Chains A and B, each alone.
Chain A
Amino acid sequence: MSDNRSLIRDFILHELLNGEQADELEFDTNLLVSGLVDSLGMVRLIAHLEEKLSVKIPPEDVTIENFISIDVMADYLKTVQTS
């Protein structure tokens, strides 16, 4: 799980935020309230996770309950990886 959290954080920080705002991006940061990840950013993040983890994230799973923070995403990815 910690690997997945780092995978997610690294992509957001380096690919979506261009290496900036590192202080604001904690594992429990609310990505919705902070506005750190926009709609297109989320599409890119999902594509990245699918490729790196060899998993399929169904569109109907892309909800706030599964993607509100890095911690929550990592928990969700565990369920996809084991299913």
Chain B
Amino acid sequence: MHPVFDNSHLAQKAEAYDFAREHLQSDMVAADRAATFPRDLWIACARQGIQGLAAPEDHGGKGDVDLLTSMLVMEGLGKGCRDNGLCFALNAQMWTVQLPIVDFGSDEQKAKYLPRFISGEIIGCHAVTEPNHGSDAFSMETHAEKVEGGYRLNGTKRLVSLAPIADVALLFATINPELGKWGVTAFLVDLHAEGISVSPPQEKMGLRTVPIGEIHLKDHFLAESQRLGPEGAGASISNHSLEIERCSILASQLGAMERQLDESVARAKSRKQFGKPIGQFQSVSNRLADMKLRLETTRLLLYQVAWLKERKQPAMMESAMLKLHLSESFLASSMDAIRTFGGDGYLTETEVERDLRDAVGGVLYAGTSAIQRNIIASMLGL
């Protein structure tokens, strides 16, 4: 018996795992090398109802699914799907674009965007970071000047996951740079409209199947109806979705860590050196014990945050601890997996080293590990 979940919860995780094992397989070595976005698998996920986890039923979603179940589904998906980039991309759209529209959008915005996100017809991205503002995100310079009927936007967003293939961006700009975080406002921007250009995909180390790029805005006019929430509420809206995003993006990473451990244990049992399985050498088995400990401590932190958010409770410190611990654990365990596989783990064709490259992004995006420590310290009153 599971200490937290009942059998119906766990069945949904198992179903997601089976779906991923059966329908989300591809030549990952080639896809990673070519940095190809798997649009066919994205559509397969839409048909399975994955994107619909983050939307109410009347807009085509699975409105009756609670956050804990959604998190378990994304965990199962992360374990069964070897493409960490695909899971990252799904979570990015679902929790940082769809969910803010669900929570803060007008009826018109919900009807306009949600059904098409859920069906896979269009793709959405979340644009915050700028050339001069990374960790200090809310000091942003992208300006939304108030004009008759709406706003005129100027500025540049960078490091935007999915931007090169996205149709819509949930984009944050300030209505007055002197107001700091209190001027930050959220907008829904059509990336094919006049006054907007998007860069080609930029090469990167890991998560290579999810393209990343820049968005340039030059005198782009945006109607007032495209603003999401009130003026000046952008920072609060972003923080709200970040806590939930961390549950689910990290749930898929947790699933990947579980897959990684299973494969490392299998390797330690089957690979023989000096006449016995390498897992019988303590230098190897201790590493696997550490991987298991990281997996299970992360799992507890993840379930705690999901439980708090399901009850609409604040989880600023808890989600920072989760983000910090999981991303650093995935990085450390990815290195341990390579050590367990030895020279084979160093070869791209065995698909062991890719997890390490994918894990590096985790200690940088959505708040670096240093920022997570700052949040924890601040919440402790320091």
Contacts and interface: CB of A to CB of B under 8 A. Distances in A.
B183 to A, nearest CB: 8
Interface-central residue, A15, A46, A62, by most chain B CB under 10 Å: A62
A40 B379 contact: yes
B36 interface: no
Interface string B229-267: 111110111011000000000000000000000000000
Nearest to A40: B378
B180 A65 contact: no
Contacts, number: 55
A43 interface: yes
Q: Is the interface of B mostly helix, strand, loop or mixed?
A: helix
B233 A60 contact: yes
Contacts of B230: 60, 63
Nearest to A16: B381
A62 B238 CA distance: 12
Q: Is the interface of A mostly helix, strand, loop or mixed?
A: helix
Contacts of A62: 233, 235-236
A63 B314 contact: no
Interface in A39-76: 39-41, 43-44, 46-47, 50, 56, 59-65, 67-68
A22 interface: no
Interface string A20-48: 00000000000010000001110110110
Interface string B155-171: 00000000000000000
Contact of A15 (B182, B231, B381): B381
Interface of B: 103-104, 138, 179-183, 229-233, 235-237, 239-240, 312, 314, 316, 374-375, 378-379, 381
Interface of A: 15, 32, 39-41, 43-44, 46-47, 50, 56, 59-65, 67-68
Interface-central residue, A32, A50, A61, A63, by most chain B CB under 10 Å: A63
A59 B104 contact: yes
A21 to B, nearest CB: 16
B232 A65 contact: yes
